[in-house]
């Protein structure tokens, strides 16, 4: 895409009321627009990142046998009364609204009830199980505070998968597969090295749930991490008994601030019981379905990537989720030879399927470089009168800052190298 | 996909309160789930159709220079007060909700205000124009009645593009391109032959808007159609003066029931004025931006396809939006040779990128055929003991009902033939 056709522009300053680094950088770079506290629109650059994160998650969900659907935002009172979660006194972060001709409806804040209600229609025999439906959708939570940018939205976009299994043994096998899928996702989006599986509070049906916590000072959670084993314990369940049970040693644990970028949870029959979600087993006996839930907030994940992978100049996108693979910057400044060369290279890169943002604007070199650092595309390719005379181009990796002069052909190789994840799209 | 792993099942009956044919067939086929009147979830088969329709629309929007983004559902009072459309007395189909700590927010029922507000931040010079941002998102309208299935939802998924142009001349050129883009979309999804550009009421800035009306008895609109010219007039603006102005003759016009599957609208400065959305022209003079809006409801479009392309047995999907290209039905009934042959063909088709639903269930032939007719995949391939002995397969086109016995290789050719649109994905 030509940058002159991208309607967004970079900004020197974020809105004064925006205190979170992730939102400040994303707003300044033109990735998101703040509608109000905790509510952001995704501008073209931001949507490109969101789509890539979504595709990475989708691939992992499909690999474990997930089947995608899309549930409605509006939730009916009758369905939620089955689990006693309709009442605002029970769930304190509902957004509700009213039908013109009477009747209240809720806005999705989670999906257990909707899924249990739908699956109830289709599950009757052991042959119908297991199934692993999932959803990408907008979720709404009436949070009192919302100061963490896109890491804690009142409106946010998430993936939720629910597992419906015949028994605890079948559930346990899938649960382990999801641990691996989640690790794969956090590795793929570039924060695997900072993300730890963390024991957190469970519920009636399991002692622990598992959170994936990414270490950053911007986090709202505290975890106790054993860096050697890579195992962590959420502060909420941290005590001597738990430490012993998990085979950890207190002296090896370090307290860290972290963001919960994903969680997986064994639900047992908590939802299948109130929905009477049963199947007939091979002996004709009625049994309750065993459920699990597996969530990832995409905005929070993107916010965390920005918190971890950024410097004083801007964002440093991993290639897998970068809005473009190459930022082609021409310093033509009115020189037609330079523009023509840049256009030719832009067309060649695009024809090769290498996603390229071409800064074809009539602007000073310093401004173009500052914008490029802020937007954070992995590979920058600079075309100037000087490089043109040498018959070469200048390349710079955003992550290392190192600049080299290379043959034009080398750009294709470098771009592919830094674009391996998106290439699988 | 193996049908045994698709958790949905066909149903003999739709819910008693569902009166619309489109929703009845889509619910019975397992495409959608009715959450409440006017609110539907998309089940796996339905999401596959929705994704294909979305891709067709996206391609056409990108071709005319559209740039995709995704605006938030939550709308702020301050923004909507600028156009005096916040008040429920002015707009009668808002859904609103409240923040826990005070303050009201609205749920998107359209996007003019959100777009004008965002673009206001980025447009300052004639160099910034024209721009054509667009959005796929969930839209919420507090309709008093909702009895047309997915053709009129209280929650629905739509595409809206807004054009921001320098002047009326530039706007007019784009507006004409959008007419063509819309025709392309309705042709691609298989209802072009029944869809007519229709003159409808304009507004302050244009005498007419243009609707795309698809002829069906399920429609809530009435149009007067000249079948020779393919021009229609919405009943709301139908009078002698308009007929003369459009060069039509009363005696050639036939009144028809129709569904508005898309509309395009010149907005002039209706929104740019209250948002003070101006740019400096080449002479340094401030001018208001000229806007246009271009909408398509994807649920309504799918509902209309089902109303038009269905028979007493079920849906007849056009290949471009069908959930799968091939429905492979094995009549193994326990015969391992037949199952093995079906599995081999399934793997070959899938490896070739031909989307195939394999009915591998242990069910009677009659049940399998009835389900296949209801789900409506374009090409059915039947494997039985009889065809296996002949070394051939039986194929049936859902649209014509004609059955023939062919060589296995012919299936690949037929599937590609009926899958040309999806192949471009």
Statement to judge: residues A257 and A200 lie in one domain: yes
Question: What does pLDDT average to over chain A?
Answer: 94
Question: A50 and A188, same structural domain?
Answer: yes
CA distance B117 to chain A (A): 9
Phi (first) and psi of residue B52, to 5 degrees:
-70, -40
* Residues in a beta bridge with A197: A212, A231
pLDDT at residue B186 in the model:
98
Band of pLDDT at residue A423, cut at 50, 70 and 90? very low
Which one of B7, B42, B73 has the shortest CB-CB distance to A70? B42
Give the phi and the psi of residue A45 in degrees, each rounded to 5.
Answer: -65, -40
Interface confidence: ipTM more than 0.85 = yes
Question: Taking a C-beta distance cutoff of 8 angstroms, is the pair B243, B235 a contact?
Answer: no
CB contact under 8 A, B70 and A93: no
Distance from chain centroid for Cα A126: 34
The residue to which tokens 């710079």 are assigned: A396
Confidence (pLDDT) at B422: 39
Could you tell me whether strands B104-107 and B133-140 are parallel, antiparallel, or unpaired per DSSP bridges?
unpaired
DSSP string, B324-359: -SEEEEE--TT-HHHHHHHHHHHHHHHHTT--EEEE
**A325 plus A294 within the same structural domain:** no
Is residue B421 over pLDDT 50? no
Least confident of A5-9, A224-228, B100-104: B100-104
> pLDDT by residue (tens digit) across A125-135?
999 999 999 99
Compute the distance between CA of residue A42 and CA of residue A46 in angstroms, rounded to an integer: 5
Residue B189 in contact with residue B54, Cβ under 8 Å? Answer: no
Can you give the CATH number for the domain in which A226 is found? 3.30.930.10
CA trace torsion A302, A304, A305, A308 (10° rounding): 160
* Cβ–Cβ below 8 Å for B68 and A9: no
pLDDT in tens, A334-392: 899 999 999 999 999 999 999 999 999 999 999 999 999 999 999 999 999 999 999 99
Using CA atoms in the order B192, B195, B201, B202, what is the torsion angle rounded to 10 degrees? Answer: 0
Closest CA to B384 of B368, B372, B402, B370: B368
Residue B289: is its pLDDT beyond 80?
yes
* Average pLDDT value for residue range A209-214: 97
Residue A134: closest C-alpha in chain B: B44
Return phi, psi of residue A287, to 5°. Answer: -135, 150
Look at residue A420 and tell me whether its pLDDT is greater than 70: no
Q: Is A29's pLDDT higher than 60?
A: yes
Mutation target to probe the B interface, by most B beta carbons within 10 A, among A46, A70, A130 is A70
Same domain, A282 and A342: no
Contacts of B50 in chain A (CB under 8 A): 70
Give the residue from A258, A291, A308 where a domain finishes: A308
What is the count of structural domains for chain B?
2
Looking at the structure, do residues B219 and B204 belong to the same domain, yes or no?
yes
Q: Which long-range contacts (CB under 8 A, 24 or more apart) does B8-17 make?
A: B8/A122, B8/B43, B8/B44, B8/B45, B9/A122, B10/B370, B10/B371, B10/B374, B10/B375
Number of helices (H), then strands (E), belonging to chain B: the values are 12, 23
Q: How much is the pLDDT for B146? A: 82
What is the residue range of B347's domain?
315-423
What pLDDT, on the 0 to 100 scale, is given for residue B60? 98
Look at residue A419 and tell me whether its pLDDT is greater than 70.
no
| Mean pLDDT confidence for B240-264 | 96
Beta pairing, strands A379-383 & A356-359: unpaired
- In tens, the pLDDT along B36-51 reads 999 999 999 999 999 9
Residues of chain B contacting A100 with CB distance shorter than 8 Å: 92-93, 142-144
Chain A contact set for B131 (CB, 8 A):
5, 7
* Contact in structure between A119 and A164 (CB atoms under 8 Å): yes
Q: Are strands A314-315 and A74-76 parallel, antiparallel or unpaired?
A: unpaired
Give the Cα separation of A328 and A345 in Å (integer): 9
Task: Kindly report, residue by residue over A268-309, the tens digit of the pLDDT.
Answer: 999 999 999 999 999 999 999 999 999 999 999 999 999 999
Evaluate whether A309 touches A315 at the Cβ level (below 8 Å): yes
Q: Are residues B96 and B231 in the same domain?
A: yes
Domain ends where: B287, B308, B329?
Answer: B308
Q: Cα(A320)–Cα(A56) distance, rounded to whole angstroms? A: 9
Phi-psi region of A327 (alpha: psi -120 to 50; beta: other; left: phi over 0): beta
- Closest CB from B70, B127, B144 relative to A101: B144
Q: Virtual CA dihedral for A149, A151, A152, A156, nearest 10 degrees?
A: 100
pLDDT of amino acid A238: 96
CA distance A8 to chain B (A): 6
Contacts of B292 (CB under 8 A, 6+ apart): B162, B163, B165, B171, B174, B175, B178, B264, B265, B266, B267
pLDDT of residue B144: 87
Residue A42 pairs with which residues in a beta bridge? A32, B70
Same domain, A10 and A153: yes
Closest-approach residue (CA) in chain A for B125: A7
- Residue after which a domain boundary falls, among A289, A308, A327: A308
Contact B97 A95 (CB under 8 A): yes
Record: contact A142-B9, CB cut-off 8 A: no
Tell which wins on pLDDT, B145 or B392.
B392
What's chain B's length in residues?
425
pLDDT reading at A243 higher than 50: yes
Query: Residue A7 corresponds to which tokens in the numbers above?
Result: 């309607």
The CATH number given to whatever domain includes residue A322 is 3.40.50.800
pLDDT at A417 over 70: no
A200 vs chain B: nearest CA distance in angstroms? Answer: 27
User: Is B44 within 8 Å of A68 when comparing Cβ atoms?
Assistant: yes
DSSP string, B75-92: EEHHHHHTTT--STTT-T
Maximum CA extent, chain A: 81
A198 and A130 co-located in one domain: yes
Q: Does A274 share its domain with A337?
A: no
Interface test with B, best of A36, A155, A324 (most B CBs within 10 A): A36
Residues 6+ apart with CB under 8 A from A285: none
Residue of A nearest to B99 (CA): A142
Nearest to B76 among A35, A96, A122 (CB): A35
Give how far A150 is from chain B: nearest CA, Å.
12
Confidence of residue A418 (pLDDT cuts 50, 70, 90): low
Q: Are A171 and A266 in contact (CB under 8 A)?
A: yes
How close is the nearest chain A Cα to the Cα of B402, in Å?
A: 32
**Could you tell me the pTM of the whole model?**
0.96
Task: Give pLDDT, residue A424.
Answer: 33
Q: What integer pLDDT is reported at residue A414 of this predicted model?
A: 87
For chain B, the first-to-last Cα distance in angstroms comes to 18
Write out the two tokens for B396: 């049936």
Q: From residue B205, how far is each of B265, B267, B269, B292 by CA, in Å?
A: 10, 6, 8, 10
Q: Is residue A338 located within the same domain as residue A210?
A: no
Are B19 and B156 found together in one domain?
A: yes
Segment B332-354 shows an average pLDDT of 93
The average pLDDT across B60-76 equals 97
**B387 and B345 inside one domain:** yes
Instruction: Sort strands B290-297 and B326-330 into parallel, antiparallel or unpaired.
Output: unpaired
Q: What pLDDT score was predicted for residue A406?
A: 93
């Amino acid at each position: 895409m030509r940058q002159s056709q991208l309607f967004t522009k970079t900004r020197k300053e974020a809105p004064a009321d925006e205190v979170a680094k992730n939102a400040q950088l994303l707003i300044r770079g033109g990735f998101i627009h703040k509608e109000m506290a905790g509510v952001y629109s995704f501008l073209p650059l931001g949507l490109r990142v969101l789509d890539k994160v979504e595709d990475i998650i989708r691939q992992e969900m499909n690999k474990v046998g997930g089947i995608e659907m899309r549930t409605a935002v509006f939730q009916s009172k009758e369905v939620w009364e089955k689990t006693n979660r309709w009442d605002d006194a029970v769930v304190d972060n509902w957004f509700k609204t009213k039908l013109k001709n009477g009747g209240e409806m809720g806005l999705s804040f989670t999906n257990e009830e909707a899924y249990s209600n739908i699956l109830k229609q289709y599950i009757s025999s052991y042959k119908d199980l297991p199934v692993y439906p999932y959803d990408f959708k907008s979720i709404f939570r009436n949070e009192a505070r919302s100061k963490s940018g896109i890491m804690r939205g009142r409106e946010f976009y998430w993936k939720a998968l629910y597992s419906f299994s015949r028994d605890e043994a079948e559930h346990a096998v899938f649960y382990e597969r999801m641990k691996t899928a989640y690790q794969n996702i956090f590795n793929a989006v570039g924060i695997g090295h900072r993300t730890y599986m963390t024991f957190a509070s469970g519920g009636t049906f399991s002692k622990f749930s598992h959170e994936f916590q990414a270490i950053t000072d911007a986090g709202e959670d505290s975890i106790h991490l054993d860096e050697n084993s890579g195992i962590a314990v959420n502060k909420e369940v941290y005590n001597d008994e738990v430490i012993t049970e998990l085979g950890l040693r207190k002296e090896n644990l370090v307290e860290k601030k972290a963001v919960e970028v994903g969680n997986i949870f064994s639900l047992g029959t908590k939802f299948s019981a109130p929905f009477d979600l049963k199947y007939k087993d091979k002996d004709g006996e009625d049994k309750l379905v065993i459920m699990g839930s597996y969530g990832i907030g995409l905005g929070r994940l993107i916010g965390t990537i920005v918190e971890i992978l950024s410097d004083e100049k801007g964002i440093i996108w991993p290639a897998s989720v970068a809005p473009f693979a190459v930022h082609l910057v021409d310093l033509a400044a009115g020189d037609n030879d330079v523009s023509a060369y840049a256009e030719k290279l832009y067309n060649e890169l695009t024809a090769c399927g290498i996603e390229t943002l071409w800064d074809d604007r009539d602007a000073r070199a310093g401004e173009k470089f500052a914008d490029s650092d802020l937007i954070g595309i992995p590979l920058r390719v600079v075309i100037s009168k000087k490089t043109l005379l040498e018959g070469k181009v200048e390349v710079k990796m955003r992550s290392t800052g190192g600049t080299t002069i290379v043959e034009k052909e080398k750009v294709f190789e470098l771009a592919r190298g830094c674009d391996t994840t998106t290439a699988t799209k």
